[in-house]
Amino acid sequence: MVDKKPCILVLHGPNLNLLGRREPEIYGTFTLEDINGQLKERADELGLGIDFIQTNYEGKMIESIQESDGRYDCIILNAAAFTHYSIAVRDAIAAVSTPVIEVHLSNIYKREEFRHYSVISSVVCGQISGFGTDSYLLALEGAARMIHRGN
């Protein structure tokens, strides 16, 4: 019998494909490819498989979450603007058994007031924000620990 390597889905939301040129004073100059490369390298070190999806479409994000059940051991989700208003994304997270870690590059609580509220926070395992690219790496470390603990 071959043991299946635990696998993480990193799901990037709207406008994150523009990292590196979008508001560098807030998000920095790194690109989405830079983030994915760092995550892939660390996942390999941790013995984890990792897949990446970036979408600007709410329906694609919802479908990706729904399809995660049984395929992934954890989702690292930067829902971007959907964080603040998408009840549909929130309901998709609540409907699956795959644990989800919410990630934000910037500290959403130090930004515009409308960004201070996350409609998904009540259905995720935890939230990491404000550490730039390290937010994703911290989430990956947390996911690895959850998987190895069995929860």
Active site residues: 27, 104
Contact 10, 36 (CB under 8 A): yes
100: left (phi over 0), alpha (psi -120 to 50) or beta: beta
- HSE (CB half, 13 Å, CA atoms) of 44? 6
Backbone CA torsion sign across 37, 43, 48, 51 = negative
Burial (CB count <10 Å: 0-12, 13-18, 19+), residue 133: middle
Q: Which two tokens stand for residue 109?
A: 């609580």
